[in-house]
Structures are given as structure tokens and as C-alpha cells.
């Protein structure tokens, strides 16, 4: 998975961290969120460093890059390299369908379809149930 997945999902994962879940699911999410936050902070620090480099400012000084400027194009080129970097973080050992069940089981949990789409990559994929193959009935003509 790419660091872009982390950057895009920060808001959704923060919503998930505040959701009510059964203890077992909550524990799995908590353990994963600790690792997720480390990766997200790395991306955030790289983003800040690139902006400060382009603006010629030091950490702690206010800086920003205006869209549509040559500086913004430089920023996008450099930050795209960061976002395209592979992460070695393993997915949460909770199946995505189990997460959905846990969210649905507790009243008041509200996540958008977009939130779920951004988070799905961080959870174990559900095994696709394959329908039992039927062998065609072959009759030999006499």
C-alpha cells in the first residue's frame, strides 16, 4: 500500500477511532491505529518539510504554497514522490466485513461511504465465496 492511502484516509481513520465498537474489534482497531498514526505522521512531516523547503522558511514559521503557482507545481512533484512510496505496514488483522458488523452493532456510529472506501485497504480482505462448481451433465449419444 502506498503512503498516499495513509494521507487520504487520516480523517476517516480518526472517525473510526472515535466509533463505538465491541471490545475485541476495538482492541484490533486501537492496535492498528497506533501504527497508522506513525505512518501518517511521517507523511505529514515530509509534507511540511517540502513546503518549508519551497518557501525558504524554517519549521515553526508560517508557510504555504498557493495553487496555480510554479512553486505549487514544484511542491506537487516532490510530494507526489512521497505519496507514491510503499509502506511496509501490515493491514489490521480484522476483516473488513467484521469491522462493518461491529460498526453496525453499536448505535450512533456514522461513517460515510467515502470514509469506508478510504479505510478498506487497511483491513484484511474478505475471502470471496466461490460458488460450488457444477460439472456439466454429459450424455454420450448412442
- C-beta pairs of 99-107 under 8 Å, 24+ apart in sequence: 99/25, 99/29, 99/123, 102/21, 102/22, 102/25, 102/26, 103/19, 103/21, 105/22, 106/19, 106/20, 106/21, 106/22, 107/20
> In angstroms, what CA-CA distances link 43 with 18, 24, 58, 129, 139?
22, 29, 18, 36, 63
Range scoring the smallest mean pLDDT among 36-40, 53-57, 65-69, 125-129: 125-129
Place of cell 514559521: 61
Question: What average pLDDT does range 91-99 have in this prediction?
Answer: 94
Contacts of 14 (CB under 8 A, 6+ apart): none
pTM of the predicted model over 0.85: no
- pLDDT at 130 (0 to 100): 42
- pLDDT at 60 (0 to 100): 85
What does the pLDDT look like over 4-41, one tens digit per residue? Answer: 999 999 999 999 999 999 999 999 999 999 999 999 99
- pLDDT at 138 (0 to 100): 46
Domain residue limits, the chain: 3-124
- pLDDT at 40 (0 to 100): 92
- pLDDT at 66 (0 to 100): 93
Amino acid at each position: 500500500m502506498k503512503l498516499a492511502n495513509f494521507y487520504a484516509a487520516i480523517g476517516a481513520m480518526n472517525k473510526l477511532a472515535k466509533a463505538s465498537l465491541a471490545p475485541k474489534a476495538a482492541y484490533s482497531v486501537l492496535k492498528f491505529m497506533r501504527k497508522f498514526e506513525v505512518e501518517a505522521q511521517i507523511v505529514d512531516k515530509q509534507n511540511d518539510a517540502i513546503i518549508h523547503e519551497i518557501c525558504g522558511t524554517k519549521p515553526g514559521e508560517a508557510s504555504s504554497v498557493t495553487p496555480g503557482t510554479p512553486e505549487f507545481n514544484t511542491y506537487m512533484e516532490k510530494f507526489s514522490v512521497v505519496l507514491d512510496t510503499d509502506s511496509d505496514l501490515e493491514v489490521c488483522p480484522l476483516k473488513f466485513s467484521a469491522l462493518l458488523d461491529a460498526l453496525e452493532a453499536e448505535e450512533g456510529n456514522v461513517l460515510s461511504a467515502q470514509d469506508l472506501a478510504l479505510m478498506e485497504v487497511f483491513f484484511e480482505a474478505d475471502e470471496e465465496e466461490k460458488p460450488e462448481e457444477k460439472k456439466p451433465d454429459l450424455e454420450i449419444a448412442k
